[in-house]
Structure 1
Amino acid sequence: MTTSAPTLGVTGSTGRLGRRVADRLAAAGVPQRLVVRDPGRAPDLPGAGAVQATYADGEAARRALDGVETLFMVSGAEEPDRVAQHKTFIDAAAAAGVGHLVYVSFFGAAPDATFTLARDHWATEEHLRASGLRYTVLRDNLYIDFFPMMVGEDGVIRGPAADGRAAAVTQDDIADVAAAVLRDPGAHENARYDLTGPEALTLHEVAATISEVTGRTVDYHDESLNEAYASRAGYGAPTWQVDAWVSTYTAIAAGEMDGVTEAVATVAGHPATSLRAHLLEYGAG
């Protein structure tokens, strides 16, 4: 803990998105409490102290959140009981006296969403709304950062997305939005933001853009459902996990990732980053 007893809590600082948020807050001189599974892995940032807690351990979470006014909550690891863990953590936040919780959800979260994990996010949002906490929900579209990772060793993106479009957004843009909300939560009370990039692309267009910018030939193969399940069977993942992987693509095909918003520009104060701009800055690695 820091001597300034920060009243802003941040989860997920050992991960890609949470670390970006923590870095931005530290750069702005904002004290923060990093809530992590393993304090030894927490980033060493000015004005930040680490405390141990997990989403599943309500009592430890309540202790870790004591005195926190505003809390940034990334979604937990993809596990069968993720919703239960989320609910336990939200309840602990309410019991600890947290006033405002900023939750990282998913674009199109709904009880009947095609993307199976978006249903988890909807259930978490419903619990958060019923908790009595003030809240802000950040509904992120697919991560632009992950598009290059979808490319197989043979240079092909495979999945049953047909000609559907996804308005993917960069993790940097999401972190900029989150940091802005956390620094002035009252301006975003009980708000929901659908965070997207500046364009909605088909995976054919994604492949073409990666090819053009990186010089590597990348193609997209629109798998059938049978092909999609067969091509992922070798990973030995449980059925629910494979369903999540495949439904990422079928949700695109269903149009549930489509629709560009101005939320990044409105909240973060700068235009959203395109796939092309992201690749030019970071490459395909």
Structure 2
Amino acid sequence: MDTLAITGCTGRLGSRVVSLLAGREVPQRLIVRDPDRAPEVPGGEVRVASYEDTDAMRRALTGVSTLFLISGHEGPERMAMHRSAVRAAAEAGVRRVVYTSFMGAAPLATFTFAREHATTEQLITAAGLSLTSLRNALYADVAPRFVGPDGVMRGPAGNGRIAWVALRDVARLAVEVLLDPAHADAIYDVSGAQAIDLHETARLIGEVTGREIRYHAETDAEARASRAGAQEWQIDGWVGSYAAIATGETSVTSHTVEHVTGTRPWTFAEFLRAEPTAWQHLV
């Protein structure tokens, strides 16, 4: 069996992947910044490194054949972190990288961070590494966070649709892809079972919370004004995410999850019923 390394082990996605792999008794190397927060799982070997520390990452990845690379936190330094991590993987002898990208990743994508994902994909292949890209739709788990204190979701998304995908389904997919080298050199669109607009998203959140939740479609100018005071990269990213919804770039529905795992992904309504912790802060 290939030696697997998992990054982002303490995060919402990485921790799920670690748990699922442990449940299948798969040995794994856990790459963490803080060893005190590392998951305690059978077969888990902890190594301490951060993306920006190329030398530490190289040491942590030596002997690893497949790396699950979860994209770094959004910010001005993210691409430098990705370059460092990819360089370390190549120098350590890693052969395949499974990377958490974004649906519609392309150099001219509407969403600024989708452009960064496209650049990262190119960095991985240019380094001579085999890339398996999981181009994930927007996570269903964060959708309730779009609701303001007044019960309104605001953004310049027009009537565009989103194929919300649950982290649970991305994790299930990631495990199968990590364990099967047949998925090498593949780019997968990863979505939920259906695409819905933000009006429907708000209605469904309202159903489970018992509150009146609605969506207000802002203009680009209104959206930027509402974020006045934030850094420019934050405003561009926030507005760009909604603009990508408006253009249809987030509306793709794929059969990837069901085809690879054998079980279809949740719809957004099913997610809300199954994961109440995602929206309980709204009650």
When the two structures are superposed, what TM-score results if normalisation uses the length of structure 1? Answer: 0.95
Could you tell me which residue of structure 2 aligns to residue 196 of structure 1? 191
Asked if 1:270 corresponds to 2:266, the answer is no
| AA of the residue aligned to 1:153 | P
RMSD: 1.3
Match of 2:55 among 59, 82, 87: 59
1:61-76 to structure 2, matched below 5 A, reads 61-76=57-72
Contact map agreement 1:173 1:268 (CA 8 A) in 2: no
Separation of aligned partners in 2, 1:77 and 1:282: 24
Deviations 1:202-252 (A, max 9, x none): 10010111122332210000011121112222xx43110111011110110
Match of 1:38 among 30, 34, 37: 34
4+ residue segments displaced more than 3 Å: none
Shift in Å, 1:84: 2.1
Separation of aligned partners in 2, 1:242 and 1:26: 39
Match of 2:273 among 273, 280, 285: 280
Separation of aligned partners in 2, 1:240 and 1:175: 29
Contact map agreement 1:251 1:257 (CA 8 A) in 2: yes
Identity %: 51
Q: How many residues align?
A: 278
| AA of the residue aligned to 2:9 | S
Contact map agreement 2:121 2:131 (CA 8 A) in 1: no
Separation of aligned partners in 2, 1:122 and 1:85: 15
**SS at 1:78's partner residue?**
coil
Deviations 1:30-62 (A, max 9, x none): 111111111111111111121111111111110
Asked if 1:127 corresponds to 2:123, the answer is yes
Asked if 1:224 corresponds to 2:219, the answer is yes
Deviations 1:116-147 (A, max 9, x none): 10010000001111111122100000001111
| AA of the residue aligned to 2:245 | I
When the two structures are superposed, what TM-score results if normalisation uses the length of structure 2? Answer: 0.95
Identify unmatched segments of 5+ residues in structure 1: 1-5
| AA of the residue aligned to 1:232 | R
1:4-15 to structure 2, matched below 5 A, reads 7-15=3-11
Match of 2:22 among 12, 23, 26: 26
Asked if 1:140 corresponds to 2:136, the answer is yes
Separation of aligned partners in 1, 2:248 and 2:184: 29
1:99-248 to structure 2, matched below 5 A, reads 99-184=95-180, 186-233=181-228, 236-248=229-241
